[in-house]
Amino acid sequence: MRAVAAMVRSIYPARCMVCNTYTDTPNGLCPPCWGETHFISGATCTTCSAPLPGEVSDAQCDTCLTYPPPWARGIAVLEYEGAGRSMVLALKRYDRLDLAPAMARWMARAAAPLLPGTDLVIPVPLHPSRLFRRKFNQSAELAMHLAAAAGITYVPDLLTRVRKTESQQGKDRIERIENLKAAIIPTPRLRESLSGKRVLLVDDVLTTGATLSACTEACFAAGAKNVDIIVLARVEPRRKLAIFAVTNIKG
């Protein structure tokens, strides 16, 4: 097998996930792109991964204290800027599904503290019309590979987006809440599957948390015991268009 792998690498050399230049490692980054990829580390908020001063641990940022999100713990892997932003957009808009396994492995490593208590891994859903146009759900791709890497049950359709919503881009806090009102519910035929379960919600980008809040409330409406979240990237607090909001989704 090693000989076959070496032969494949000689025919198809590894390329950088971002800029497509040749690299030494498959599914890796070249040095310049690595330097532009800002992995989140150090003291961070336990619910949104916002940076915290000093070496504070097990604490929340001011935003999450003022407007508590409905999920318990949240982790983000990358800052949504530089090469991190480029990778997210490549997956989401340019059909780079080949990037999903490596991204999901990063997410699985970051989510290690959450995984021992997780029963189900589920993605943030897309509306059927958007899924038809895009042909895939980027959050589902990440969730599928993450669940496989972690050995946890993956159920892609436990949540359903029943109402087509406008893009959240450019909307303020109130507009985002209204845009998602009654848009996401537990899938009726699978509703009982959420009862008493500890859920890990997966999404590609965290901005204000409105979508993840709607999904979390939908899980609790079906009787979920606990909900944590993991996202590939997060928008820095100073760039947020709005603050976190708890939505009231009735399933």
As to burial, measured by CB atoms within 10 angstroms (0-12 exposed, 13-18 middle, 19+ buried), residue 195 is exposed
Strands (E), the chain: 74-79, 120-123, 153-154, 159-161, 184-186, 198-206, 226-234
Question: Which of 51-55, 69-73, 104-108, 200-204 bottoms out in mean pLDDT, i.e. has the lowest?
Answer: 51-55
Q: What is the pLDDT of residues 178-222, one digit of tens each?
A: 667 778 999 999 999 999 999 999 999 998 888 999 999 999 999
For residue 244, pLDDT beyond 50: no
For the chain, domains (ranges, CATH) are 1-35 (no CATH), 37-239 (3.40.50)
- The model carries a pTM of 0.84
Mean pLDDT of 127-133: 86
